[in-house]
A and B are shown apart, each in its own frame.
Chain A
Amino acid sequence: MKQWENFSKGFIRDNPVFVLFLGLCPTLAVTTSAYNGLGMGLATTFVLVMSNLVVSIIKNLIPGKVRIPTFIVVIASFVTMVEMLTQAFVPDLYEQLGIFIPLIVVNCLVLGRSEAFASKNDIFSAIIDGLGMGLGFALALTVLGAVREVLGSGSLTLIPDVAEFTIYQGDGMLVFVLAPGAFLALGYLIMLADKLKKKMY
């Protein structure tokens, strides 16, 4: 039961994007479509789970004073792995996400979970925490991407060529695909998420 709570807190109650406001740069930058948001979310989830796992294993070996640089090196190693994996297996996504894949390393969500959770808890809890927070992040990015894509271009792409839908024909509100739309859409989504959170808890 406790582990379920640990897992599910990332979705609404402590959602990294809508409630904690962590990792906003990739959130705003890559969510021009639901697929990009999902891809970025899953890449971050991988880094988060692996770095939480490693940090939790080595937590007793690191002297307190150098723990932050150590965490950063651990995170950077997994980010490099994600960079290579996406480049090899999903090159189109790699092109779309651009510099935001190496920038996962400075995503405050990843460092924040290492520092606040993984360095104080056992290995299993750390993995569950990483998975829950990561999937909550992916959920937020996918929702934001879907809203922007539907309003901006009238289509919804979860996986290209497999799950592509046309919502309406004709021109969408182009501004939602451009930079200002990211801020506007996120502003309204944060408001809705706050409402939802108050209803549920």
Chain B
Amino acid sequence: MDYLVIIISAIFVNNIVLNRFLGICPFIGVSSKVETAIGMTGAVAFVMTLATIITYLLQTYILVPLSITFMQTITFILIIASLVQLVEIVLKKVSPPMYQALGIFLPLITTNCAIMGVALLAVQNNYNLVESVLFGIANAIGFGLALILFAGIREHLDLVDVPKPMRGVPIAFIVAGLLSLAFMGFSGIV
């Protein structure tokens, strides 16, 4: 039951993009087409799940026993940066088609605050390993949901006559605001 609560709350109630404001840069940056949005989601889901597992192990078995939790920021960012590099190298060797699809998004992920944010939130909420993994996956799904919905709206937005000063980024933010308002409807279900 607890697991279900974690999943529902991460995807809908506290949506990582629309409610927690993590990963806004790719949300605005790569959301002009549904296709690229799906690619980005795949890359984020992959790295986010791995990063949450590894940072959990690092926190529980190295940082806490040695009581050097103040090193959290430095170690987490280094783990994430090297993980992205590693994933890139492995994918290139093991699955060239997948590398073709996700490759260009991988370098962007290092400075995607969603990855680091989810790792920090999992530690802050005192999740155990299973909960951390679920939290990582659920947040990746939430990220994908918001990104793909937003990309779909933006594709239609191109065909609409938007007032001149609002064109481009300002209207994107207004749309994101309305989307966020819609997601507020989920608050209270868990």
Contact = CB atoms under 8 A, between A and B. Distances in A.
A22 B113 CA distance: 12
A96 interface: no
A129 B25 CA distance: 23
A106 B116 contact: yes
Interface in B70-90: 70-74, 76-78, 81
B116 A102 contact: yes
A54 interface: no
B104 interface: no
Interface stretch (B2-10, B46-54, B171-179): B171-179
A108 B111 contact: yes
Interface in A172-201: 175, 178-184, 186-188, 190-191, 194-195
A126 interface: no
Interface in B45-73: 70-73
A25 B25 contact: yes
B28 interface: yes
A21 interface: yes
Interface in A38-96: 68-69, 72-73, 76-77, 79-80, 83-84
A108 B176 contact: no
B157 to A, nearest CB: 13
A79 to B, nearest CB: 5
Contact of A187 (B25, B81, B177): B177
A103 interface: yes
B181 A175 contact: yes
A28 interface: yes
A111 B25 CA distance: 14
Contacts of A181: 177
Nearest to B24: A24
Q: Give the contact-size bracket for chain B.
A: 35 or more
B68 to A, nearest CB: 11
A80 B20 CA distance: 22
Nearest to A29: B21
B180 A103 contact: no
A42 to B, nearest CB: 18
Contact of B77 (A22, A105, A191): A105
Most A CB atoms within 10 A — which of B24, B25, B72, B165? B24
B184 A180 contact: yes
B73 A83 contact: yes
Given A99-B117, A99-B121, A188-B170, A28 B21 contact: yes
Task: Identify the interface centre among A22, A72, A180, A188: most chain B CB within 10 Å of its CB.
Answer: A180
A69 B117 contact: no
B20 A187 contact: no
A179 B21 contact: yes
A21 B111 contact: no
Contact of B70 (A22, A26, A68, A84): A84
Given A183-B176, A187-B177, A188-B170, A69 B113 contact: no
A84 B174 CA distance: 36
Interface string B158-176: 0000000110011111101
B138 interface: no
Contacts of B36: none
Contacts of B166: 187, 191
A25 B177 contact: no
B74 to A, nearest CB: 4
12 contacts: A25-B23, A28-B21, A77-B74, A80-B70, A102-B73, A106-B77, A180-B181, A184-B173, A184-B174, A184-B177, A187-B171, A194-B170
Nearest first, the 9 A-B pairs at minimum CB distance are A187-B173, A183-B177, A29-B21, A184-B177, A180-B181, A76-B74, A180-B180, A24-B24, A191-B170
